[in-house]
Amino acid sequence: MNLNVLVLPGDGIGTEVTREAVRVLRHVAAKWNHTLNITEGLLGGIAIHKTGTPFPEETARLAAAADATLMGAVGLPEFDDAPPEKRPEKGLLGIRQALGVYANLRPVRAYASQLDSSPLKNHLVEGTDMIIVRELTGGIYYGTPRGITGDGAEMRAVNTMTYSRFEIERVSRMAFHLARARRKKVTSVDKSNVLENSQLWRRVVTEMGRSYPDVELDHMLVDNCAMQLILNPKRFDIVLTENMFGDILSDEGAVLAGSIGMLPSASIGDQRPSGAWVGLYEPVHGSAPDIAGQNKANPLGAIGSVAAMMSYSFGLKEEAAAVETAIEAVLASRHVTADLRPSGAPATTEQVGLAVCAAIG
Ligand code: IPM
Ligand code: MG
């Protein structure tokens, strides 16, 4: 198979974890005789430095031409005081929107060998296995009007949370489909006791659920969900929610997986005429400037994103499973990065990448 992949390492630890993810990608391509064609592009703070904008047109062009895009992380502290339009994060929001990847799949698993990495009691996290399906191209992240106006005491900031029926329907469909291949349970999360937006969300998800009578659907308010994720994470199979709630809940999910460095994600859009799904793959973690350049970031979220790419964009289930099994083997060896509290000296980012390749064989 021809695999045309755009790689956007981005900022901070993005470059280090992406290097290891690409190492694994090359390894898989060589082992299974796929022709891998990698192009590299700019996104985020590095793109601002080199081109003046966080999402250069060239990157948009490369992403549209690629079969799949692998992203590292964006964000640099020097832009902390910049307005949203001029921040590295704007690049990420831009590419998500340009590719139309409306469904962000964030699997959260507690690996048996990793239970001690979570600060929560083992019996609580053990067996956790869910996918957070986060709507990714709508809601308050993109709604208009937005902005800061006025002066002094009259200064005012506005953001708009908006969803159309169409936007809720398509991401719901994705959630119900995923549930069918799993434990057949969708928990839709909203704030319908306060927000009209959530009332529409709940109404549309309920309607969609009627087409999937084999899937159990329940609804949960987001504040309660934040608590249940910690109290009883095993109760969740698919968590379906809007953009900002999904952003927040997925970081909470990281605590169940032992470290935010563990979490991969797949952002999926429409099917192309070829039948392939448009996909953007990125670890859930950020650019972690405090540990950047030190070869100690956990690359497993980025490497897991490669497995997701194999599976969703290329339909290469055997390759995806091999990467996932290799990740489990490396975790079981306990020679892991510092965030996972290894028994001995922590492994470097590079050592973990090499170990995953060795485990794939
Ligand atoms: C994430 C990140 C991004 C988001 C930031 C970097 C814009 O937190 O992917 O979870 O809020 O979507
Ligand atoms: Mg986030």
pLDDT for 154-207, tens place per residue?
Answer: 999 999 999 999 999 999 999 999 999 999 999 999 999 999 999 999 999 999
Mutation pick for ligand 1 pocket among 92, 135, 137, 244 (CB with most ligand atoms within 8 Å): 92
pLDDT given for residue 272 in this prediction: 83
> Which pLDDT score, from 0 to 100, does residue 341 have?
87
Q: Active-site residue 270, yes or no?
A: no
Predicted confidence (pLDDT) at residue 343 exceeds the cutoff of 90: no
**35-76 pLDDT tens trace:** 999 999 999 999 999 999 999 999 999 999 999 999 999 999
- pLDDT band of residue 277 (cuts 50, 70, 90) is confident
Residue nearest to atom 9 of ligand 1 (CA): 284
Dihedrals φ, ψ of 21, to 5°? -65, -40
Q: Using the mean position of ligand 2's atoms as its centre, give its distance from the Cα of residue 285 in Å.
A: 7
- Tell me whether the CATH fold assigned to 1-102+263-361 matches the one assigned to 119-257: yes
Q: Partners of 71 in the beta sheet? A: 8
193 touches 223 (CB < 8 A): no
297 pLDDT more than 90: yes
pLDDT value of position 3: 96
In the chain, how long is the greatest CA-to-CA distance? 65
Neighbouring CB atoms inside 10 A of 348's CB total 18
Q: What is the pLDDT of residue 122?
A: 94
> Of 16-25, 266-275, 306-315, 326-335, which range is least confident?
266-275
Indicate if the alpha-carbon torsion angle 136, 5, 325, 275 is positive or negative. positive
Question: Which residue, judged by its Cα, is nearest atom 7 of ligand 1?
Answer: 89
Whether 191 is a known active-site residue: answer yes
Q: The whole model's pTM is what?
A: 0.96
The answer on pLDDT for 261 being more than 90 is yes
Tell me: cis bond preceding 213? Omega within 30 of 0 counts. Answer: no
- Cβ 263 vs Cβ 284: under 8 Å: yes
Q: Which residues of 22-51 are buried (b: 16+ CB within 10 A; e: fewer)?
A: bbbbebbbeeeebeeeeeebbbbbbbbeee
pLDDT of residue 276: 80
**Average pLDDT in the 8-21 region?**
98
Residue 273 has a pLDDT of 82
Looking at residue 202, its pLDDT comes to 98
| CATH, range 119-257 | 3.40.718.10
Question: Does residue 89 have its Cβ closer than 6 Å to ligand 1?
Answer: yes
In the three-class reduction of DSSP (H, G, I as helix; E, B as strand; rest coil), residue 130 is classed as strand
Active site residue 223: yes
Per-domain residue ranges of the chain: 1-102+263-361, 119-257
Please choose, from the candidates 317, 270, 278, 265, the residue with its C-alpha nearest in 3D space to the C-alpha of residue 68.
278
Q: Which of 332, 287, 284, 292 is nearest to 355 (CA)?
A: 332
CB under 8 Å to 324, separation ≥6 — which residues? 304, 307
Q: Catalytic one among 111, 163, 190, 191?
A: 191
Question: pLDDT tens, 128-158?
Answer: 999 999 999 999 999 999 999 999 999 999 9
pLDDT for 342 equals: 87
CATH code of the domain made up of 1-102+263-361: 3.40.718.10
Q: Is 234 a catalytic residue?
A: no
Counting ligands in written order, the one closest to the CA of 73 is 1
Split at pLDDT 50, 70, 90, the class of 349 is very high
Residues 6+ apart with CB under 8 A from 136: 96, 101, 102, 103, 104, 243, 246, 267
Residue 247 among the catalytic residues:
yes
Residue 22, amino acid: V
The model's confidence at residue 330, banded by pLDDT at 50, 70 and 90, is very high
Catalytic residue among 116, 223, 270, 317: 223
